[in-house]
């Protein structure tokens, strides 16, 4: 007589309990866990890892690479970092001794991810050696190795080495190992999880099944992220099993972060669907598909994205992020609280408000003059959500005037802390266009700045400033060659309009050049933003926050190297025109924003007052007395020197620009 479904499930549970009990007995003999956490630790011991003593394995603690106290601190750092995302979650009862015995690969991966500097580099080599020994030499496959791989891949950017880059290969190794381990758990076992959720609390079997399910989902997410980013194939696609686990995990798990993981995975599934439809690797497909087809597909994906976001809990929308807060917090450099700098004599120092304070001030505008920054720590600000949108319109003088007026209104509003507006006029393939970017730091969608119908509309919501980059990059086609120029002026709508009109006469003769795109963008330096830069060399040059200013960013892009000379000359002509007109109208500010500057623009002469320049020179003499970075570090913007004190040969060899 065939067995009933219930009988089959009971037998599976009995077999699993027997397995857990057997391994638990072995673990108890080692006295790794205390009586108070025996049940939970049993779940962690249920992988089929063959355990050895720390001395036999000669792990990094036994080798003396780091102490037990250092290892405990790194584990604590990992626990804190895992609050936002981690493929592996460590329960509180997972002690240092337990991890060294039962999860040596995971243990080493965690230490590698959380260590810094030379220790991190050494631990990364140790991890690779362990992986090679256990996977290649000993042909092992178990949950410890898989979880260690996932942690290593998640934080790979911290110890990335282009010469030894293997993240795609290792992600595929993780995928095949998950298949060999037959993850996730059997569907019938998952049914039992739901039915007996209330009675399984603090039961080792319950935790172990959830751990395997979480590892399976994380494996998909990491593999998919890496494969899509590197435009490489993978056999691990978003499927019904992954979707089911995403639904089940938040329901049966006792960890809030599993709900966040499920949200990440669902978004990645949508990204995978977009990739499959648009066939990014198939250039011919992109050439034949028409604009209307693309727009229809984009609208469908936007609807799917909106539905996904609506279903997400508030915790997912508030996950991590740094606010688009320049209006109140100043520029990015104003929020750096410490620089780690290699000086010209080879010493490594920290520069902050209490240590090397003079260097800390100069490092707000350092370029290639003071030292090589190997690390910097920043002050960050939480943001629950950021909304961003870009609209592209056919250019008309009336429309441009309306957009600039809205931008000017925002630029003078010192009470506004949530919104950002940027306007750009551009010409692409013979067509003049107007582009309006809007951002709201509170995640609130806003109406467009004009009632005109856009020819392109892109909108998204996220938790970091990337929403700004994503919507703008989506509207602008990527090219291979570029030239920038920048000036700073007071806000003046009439000037903005006149400059674009005069620029068109310069650029229209170049309309037929391959993939040419040029734009004039207006980005605001409000008084509040300037005042946040008080402890910076640029504060006085910006007028000490007495006026609301704008950065005029002239950007030209093209594809054909044969056009370099003509278009570089045109870019220079555009920049000269914009600056000459601003000076005539009395609205020019001397400040040159280094990030957007052309290589020939005198950044330091214009962005720092004479008094502050003398201070920067004195700091330069103190930290690079021999001028090593002047002679050996080419590129960047160099501090101008008093040429009256130089020989003609030295003056000819001195580079103050790129």
pLDDT tens digits, 193-240:
556 554 445 456 667 778 888 899 999 999 998 888 887 888 888 888
Whether residue 300 is contained in a domain is answered as yes
Same domain flag for 103 and 228: no
Residue 495 has a pLDDT of 92
Residue where a domain stops, chosen among 301, 318, 335: 318
Give the pLDDT band (50/70/90) at residue 333: low
Please answer whether residues 598 and 575 qualify as being in contact, where contact means their C-beta atoms are separated by less than 8 angstroms: yes
Whether residue 472 is contained in a domain is answered as yes
Residue 395 has a pLDDT of 92
- Measure the CA–CA gap between 367 and 372, rounded to whole angstroms: 9
Residue where a domain stops, chosen among 104, 133, 165: 165
Same domain flag for 570 and 440: yes
Residue where a domain stops, chosen among 591, 607, 623: 607
Same domain flag for 490 and 570: yes
Whether residue 337 is contained in a domain is answered as no
Same domain flag for 140 and 204: no
Same domain flag for 62 and 210: no
Residues in Cβ contact with 451 at an 8 Å cutoff, skipping those fewer than 6 apart: none
Q: Is 542 exposed, middle or buried (0-12, 13-18, 19+ CB in 10 A)?
A: buried
Q: How many CB atoms lie within 10 A of CB 216?
A: 23
Residues in Cβ contact with 195 at an 8 Å cutoff, skipping those fewer than 6 apart: none
Q: pLDDT digits over 430-471, tens only?
A: 889 999 988 887 777 888 999 999 988 877 776 565 555 555
Ranking 40-44, 135-139, 589-593 by mean pLDDT, the lowest is: 40-44
Same domain flag for 602 and 483: yes
Same domain flag for 477 and 589: yes
- Measure the CA–CA gap between 129 and 143, rounded to whole angstroms: 18
Give the residue-averaged pLDDT of 86-103. Answer: 83
Give the residue-averaged pLDDT of 327-343. Answer: 75
Query: Between these two residues, 395 and 81, which has the higher pLDDT value?
Result: 395
- Measure the CA–CA gap between 475 and 455, rounded to whole angstroms: 11
Whether residue 328 is contained in a domain is answered as no
Same domain flag for 446 and 594: yes
Question: Which of 31-35, 157-161, 235-239, 315-319 has maximum average pLDDT?
Answer: 235-239
Residue 27 has a pLDDT of 41
Number of structural domains (the chain) is 3
Same domain flag for 528 and 407: yes
Residue 200 has a pLDDT of 46
Same domain flag for 116 and 235: no
* Domain span holding position 91: 16-165
Residue 462 has a pLDDT of 65
Whether residue 274 is contained in a domain is answered as yes
Q: What is the average pLDDT score of the chain? A: 78
Same domain flag for 309 and 451: no
**CATH (domain of 410):** 3.40.462.20
- Measure the CA–CA gap between 323 and 441, rounded to whole angstroms: 6
Whether residue 631 is contained in a domain is answered as no
Q: pLDDT digits over 17-34, tens only?
A: 444 444 444 443 333 333
What percentage of the chain carries pLDDT values higher than 90?
29
Same domain flag for 154 and 195: no
Whether residue 350 is contained in a domain is answered as no
Give the residue-averaged pLDDT of 143-158. Answer: 92
């Amino acid at each position: 007589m065939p067995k009933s479904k219930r009988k089959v499930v009971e037998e599976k549970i009995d077999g699993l309990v027997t397995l857990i009990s057997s391994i638990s007995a072995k673990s108890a003999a080692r006295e790794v866990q205390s009586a108070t956490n025996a049940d939970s630790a049993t779940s962690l011991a249920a992988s089929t890892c063959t355990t050895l003593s720390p001395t036999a394995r000669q792990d990094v603690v036994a080798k003396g690479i780091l102490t037990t106290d250092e290892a405990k601190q790194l584990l604590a750092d990992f626990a804190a970092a895992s609050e936002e995302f981690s493929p592996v979650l460590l329960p509180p009862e997972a002690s240092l001794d337990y991890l060294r015995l039962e999860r040596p690969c995971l243990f080493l991966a965690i230490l590698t991810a959380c260590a810094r500097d030379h220790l991190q580099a050494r631990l990364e080599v140790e991890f690779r050696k362990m992986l090679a020994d256990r996977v290649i030499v000993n042909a092992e496959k178990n949950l410890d190795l898989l979880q260690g791989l996932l942690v290593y891949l998640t934080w790979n950017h911290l110890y990335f080495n282009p010469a030894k880059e293997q993240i795609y290969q290792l992600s595929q190794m993780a995928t095949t190992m998950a298949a060999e381990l037959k993850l996730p758990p059997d569907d019938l076992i998952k049914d039992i999880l739901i039915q007996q959720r209330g009675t399984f609390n603090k039961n080792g079997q319950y935790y172990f099944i959830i751990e395997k399910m979480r590892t399976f989902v994380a494996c998909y997410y990491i593999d998919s992220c890496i494969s899509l980013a590197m435009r490489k194939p993978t056999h691990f696609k978003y499927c019904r099993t992954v979707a089911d686990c995403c639904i089940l995990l938040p329901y049966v798990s006792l960890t809030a972060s599993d709900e966040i993981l499920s949200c990440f995975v669902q978004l990645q599934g949508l990204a995978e669907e977009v990739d499959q439809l648009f066939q990014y690797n198939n250039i011919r497909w992109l050439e034949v598909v028409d604009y209307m087809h693309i727009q229809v597909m984009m609208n469908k994906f936007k609807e799917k994205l909106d539905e996904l976001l609506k279903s997400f809990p508030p915790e997912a929308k508030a996950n991590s992020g740094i606010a688009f807060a320049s209006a109140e917090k100043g520029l990015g450099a104003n929020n750096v609280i410490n620089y780690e700098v290699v000086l010209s004599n080879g010493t490594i120092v920290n520069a902050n408000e209490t240590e090397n304070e003079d260097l800390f001030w100069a490092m707000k505008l350092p370029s290639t003059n003071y030292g090589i920054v190997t690390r910097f720590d920043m002050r960050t600000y939480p943001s629950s959500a950021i909304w961003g949108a870009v609209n592209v319109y056919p250019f008309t003088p009336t429309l441009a005037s309306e957009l600039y007026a809205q931008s000017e209104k925002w630029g003078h509003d010192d009470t506004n802390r949530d919104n950002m507006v940027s306007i750009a006029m551009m010409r692409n393939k013979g067509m003049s266009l107007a582009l309006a970017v809007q951002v709201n730091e509170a995640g609130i969608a806003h109406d467009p700045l004009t009632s005109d119908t856009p020819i392109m509309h892109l909108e998204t919501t996220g938790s970091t400033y990337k929403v700004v980059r994503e919507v703008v990059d989506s509207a602008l086609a990527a090219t291979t060659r570029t030239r920038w120029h920048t000036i700073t002026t007071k806000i003046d709508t009439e000037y903005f309009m006149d400059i674009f009109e005069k620029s068109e006469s310069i650029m229209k003769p170049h309309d037929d050049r391959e993939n040419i795109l040029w734009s004039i963008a207006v980005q605001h330096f409000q008084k509040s933003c300037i005042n946040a830069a008080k402890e910076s060399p640029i504060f006085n040059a910006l007028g000490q926050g007495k006026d609301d200013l704008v950065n005029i960013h002239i950007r030209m892009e093209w594809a054909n190297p044969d056009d370099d000379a003509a278009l570089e000359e045109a870019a220079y002509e555009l920049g000269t025109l914009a600056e000459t007109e601003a000076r005539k109208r009395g609205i020019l500010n001397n400040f040159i924003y280094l990030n957007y500057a052309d290589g020939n623009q005198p950044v330091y002469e214009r962005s720092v007052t004479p008094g502050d320049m003398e201070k920067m020179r004195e700091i330069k003499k103190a930290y690079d007395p021999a001028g090593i970075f002047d002679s050996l570090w080419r590129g960047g913007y160099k501090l101008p020197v008093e040429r009256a004190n130089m020989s003609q040969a030295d003056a000819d060899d001195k580079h103050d620009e790129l």
